[in-house]
Amino acid sequence: MRARHPAAGPLLCAAITLSCALACALAPAHAGPTRLALVIGNDAAPAAEVELPPLLHAERDARRLRDALVRHGRFPAEGVELVVGGGRAAVLAAAERLVARHRAVRAQVGEQVPTLFALFFTGHGLRGALLTRDGPLDGSDLGRIFTAVDATVSFGLFDACHSGAFDAETLRVKGIAPTPGFNPAAALPTELLGNAGTLWLSSSQPDEVSYEDPAVGSLFTHYFIEAFTAAERDGPGVDVDAMWRYARRRTVAHAARFGRRQTPVRHITRLESSGPLLMSFPSARRARLVLDGPLSGPFVLRMADGALVERVDKRAGEPLEVPVFPGRLQIGPPGGRPWWTVELAPGDRLALGQTPPAAPPGIASETIAPMGGDPTARLVRARAAASWHMGAGYGFAGRPATGLGPWHRIALAAHRVDGGLGLGLRAGYGRRAHAFSAWQATVDAPFAAIEAGWGLIAGRWRFDLLLGAELEYARVDYSDRSRAVLAPGADLNLRAWTRLWGVGWALRGGVRVGWTEGLAIDDTARRLHLGPAVGLEALWP
């Protein structure tokens, strides 16, 4: 694994537009991925001119790398071919499947969508070849693979050479003596190395060996996998330059702790674009795009300045909601313009269509004027906003027949919502009359309550889980006397809230716990009561 280290420049520019993503996990139907990868891992030490000990973790590292590509790199699982412990024929067959898949994707999304092909190898390398179980892959084999896939951007990571390994005591080289391993700058065809949009990473210098640690596996591959989530982020993603710096620094330091030297290198040819080449997207998608019901057809979404491109197929009828990354979002049909371009903040919800959707409480809507796009369509952006809502409602609180307190109550309410946070105040009154054969009583019970909780926005609905505390003043009038009781209580409610006919309607249901006395004149023992609680409120605005 070695390569010369020419000046890289700011490198890794996004589009190389690693627009290449079409992760396409967002809609029921989608075009195939434009991020493709071939991951090869081989522990075996086939017969060679020098004695090579079997590796411990190359095949395991290949599986970990495949998982990181799918989970964090937005490589669809069907776009990643994994060959572990296989021979040369198995590798070439996997490459042919990727070539066929790439052609099918091109037929669906068009030639203008950039694509990325990444090849990863971890195993033995010797004198310009990567060793598989039954034969070597030389530079001409790899050149044919990259040429046949014909991606916009070609990326290779080679963690292979005449390998060293850790034993229980120190770092040592196994085999006869270090000999030249795989150096992409020397082994790959000249025309491939000269192509624009190529990047090769090697695990060590031409005069060094690459090491494997029984605890972590191949050093450079281990730290490159770790970089998917640990390297410095650029917006929603991690660019290859940051991953390279992270993996190189830690590989050098790890080998140096055992008195050994391993220095990864890179070879770059004309990566041209305006931003970083993003390889990993470990951040959460914290904004959402809603395609209006009447809309139909394919839509291409470009995120992170074109570093991630996805396609969704929208069927006429129900709205389609798609999670997206905050930042600049471009929306358009496959094949070119018109495009809409907007900026989204975390928590924003963008609706594209003719009819602006009703916004739930805690969300403010605004019609925005995007750059470009179909002028007859509307873009409505919804974002978290603080607001007060006043209203009135009815509530039912289940209580024992012999307990103090009314079942039916009316109340005035004031609620404040700020994004997900919800606070509320309620004050109301309930009345209950009892008539028995020997006596009768009337209970008048004003109350005040405070509640707080957290809400979840789902379309035009808002769902709040609320915990409240209340104090009820129950005055009981008998035929010849009266008494007053302060009755504390608490409740846990789930509230569903939406707007209809210009009014906010909140339906709640949960449980109430109250601490009060009995209804009989001499029943002053305190009891804990548990019962259902439901309510309906109308709120303005």
Residue 306 and residue 528: Cα distance in Å, rounded? 61
Residue 98 and residue 115: Cα distance in Å, rounded? 12
Residues whose CB falls within 8 Å of the CB of residue 71, separated by 6 or more in sequence, listed in order:
none
Are the CB atoms for 430 and 406 separated by under 8 Å? yes
Q: Using the 8-state DSSP alphabet, how is residue 194 labeled?
A: T
Secondary structure (H, E, C), 269-335: ECCCCCCCCEEECCCCCCEEEEECCCCCEEEEEEEHHHCEEEEEEECCCCCEEEEECCEEEEEECCC
Query: Strand, helix or coil at 390?
Result: strand
Q: Using the 8-state DSSP alphabet, how is residue 78 labeled?
A: G
Task: Note the helical H segments in 340-490.
Answer: none
Please state, in angstroms and as integers, the Cα–Cα distance from residue 415 to each residue in 122, 358, 389, 458, 468, following that order. Answer: 59, 19, 5, 19, 13
Specify the pLDDT at position 428: 96
**How many angstroms separate the first and last alpha carbons of the chain?**
66
CB contact burial 200-214 (16+ within 10 A = b; e otherwise): bbbbbbbebbbbbbe
Specify the pLDDT at position 184: 62
Residue 375 and residue 410: Cα distance in Å, rounded? 49
* Residues in a beta bridge with 537: 393, 506
Residue 339 and residue 337: Cα distance in Å, rounded? 5
**By CB neighbour count within 10 A (0-12 exposed, 13-18 middle, 19+ buried), where does 174 fall?**
middle
Q: What is the pTM of this model?
A: 0.67
Pairing of strands 265-269, 198-202: antiparallel
Q: In this structure, what token pair is assigned to residue 285?
A: 């998608």
Specify the pLDDT at position 19: 32
Q: Which DSSP helix (H) or strand (E) runs through 491?
A: strand 482-500
Residues whose CB falls within 8 Å of the CB of residue 46, separated by 6 or more in sequence, listed in order:
52, 124, 131, 132, 133, 134, 135
Are the CB atoms for 66 and 58 separated by under 8 Å? no
Residue 234 and residue 194: Cα distance in Å, rounded? 28
**By CB neighbour count within 10 A (0-12 exposed, 13-18 middle, 19+ buried), where does 522 fall?**
exposed
| Cα dihedral 399→400→401→402 (10° resolution) | -120
Pairing of strands 320-324, 349-353: unpaired
Cis peptide before 375 (omega within 30 of 0): no
Q: What is the pLDDT along the chain (541 residues), one digit of tens a residue?
A: 333 233 333 333 333 333 333 333 333 333 334 789 999 999 886 765 566 778 888 999 999 999 999 999 989 899 999 999 999 999 999 999 999 999 887 776 667 667 889 999 998 877 677 888 888 888 888 888 988 998 888 898 988 764 444 433 333 332 333 444 565 655 666 555 555 578 888 888 877 778 888 888 889 999 999 999 999 987 788 988 899 999 999 999 999 988 888 989 887 765 554 345 788 988 888 888 888 877 788 887 888 776 777 778 888 888 888 899 888 888 877 655 567 888 888 878 888 875 655 667 777 777 776 666 566 567 788 777 888 999 999 999 988 888 888 999 999 999 999 878 999 999 999 999 988 878 889 999 999 999 999 988 776 788 999 999 999 999 999 988 999 999 999 999 999 988 888 788 999 999 999 988 888 888 888 889 899 999 999 998 8
Specify the pLDDT at position 186: 59
* Residues in a beta bridge with 393: 411, 537
Domains of the chain, CATH where assigned = 35-271 (3.40.50.1460), 287-382 (2.60.40), 386-540 (2.40.160.20)
